[in-house]
A = this chain, B = another copy of it.
Amino acid sequence: MAKQIPDIVIGRLPVYLRALVQMGQEGRQVTSSQELGERLGISAAQIRKDLSQFGEFGKQGTGYNIEFLSKQLSEILKVNRVWDVAIVGAGDIGRALAGYSGFSERGFRIAMIFDNKPELVGSEAAGFMIKDGRQLRDEIAAAGIKIAMIAVPATQAQDVVNQLVEAGVRAILSYAPVHLSVPAGVRVQNIDPSIHLQRMTYYLE
């Protein structure tokens, strides 16, 4: 069995990757754990430790080749390929996600979008024809889609998640303001702006 990598380390890798890609776009060739750390507000030791879980990517005295390390991280995170993603919910958030251009260069492609409102089904959102939510399970299973983003009301979210899991989805990014239960082997990330804001108000006067 492969060495177990802490999830908290996995969680930092996309942040490293984003910063490295940005540095590359700035025309930089090489960086160091110190520079990257200063840029991200993370200690240099932590960056080196995190990376060392996966191999040796740097050169003593020199640092890290930005393009090489970016490629390595993309591979580790399995975003050196394109993942099809389904969106469930074609309200404001679902549509914003469908139209967001930032996914393609980071390993994702919006493949389909669902809603269960009859007046929305068949209409268009960001160039996609909105599909009937009742077909969700069959369509996603048939397409072999493993990743979904859901932007449905809190009351419907758990039901949608259950269907997604049945359809074979294994990674869910939820914008619904509710805790979701999933079986082992399925991962959920939650985005709830109110929660994020409430994490900060504690520190305000």
Contacts and interface: CB of A to CB of B under 8 A. Distances in A.
B179 A40 contact: yes
B191 A193 contact: yes
Interface of A: 10-11, 13-15, 17-19, 22, 39-41, 76-79, 83, 85, 92-93, 95-97, 99-100, 102-103, 106-108, 146-147, 149, 154, 170-171, 173, 177-179, 181, 187, 189, 191-205
Candidate in A19, A147, A203 with the most chain B CB atoms within 10 angstroms: A203
Contacts of A147: 197, 200-201, 204
In the A-B complex, the 3 residue pairs with the smallest Cβ-Cβ separation, listed nearest first, are: A92-B96, A171-B200, A14-B198
A10 B199 contact: yes
Contacts of A100: 92-93, 193
B149 A193 contact: yes
Given A22-B178, A78-B202, A102-B177, 19 more contacts: A10-B199, A11-B199, A14-B198, A18-B177, A77-B202, A83-B201, A85-B197, A92-B99, A93-B96, A96-B96, A103-B194, A147-B197, A147-B204, A149-B197, A171-B203, A173-B197, A189-B196, A189-B197, A191-B196
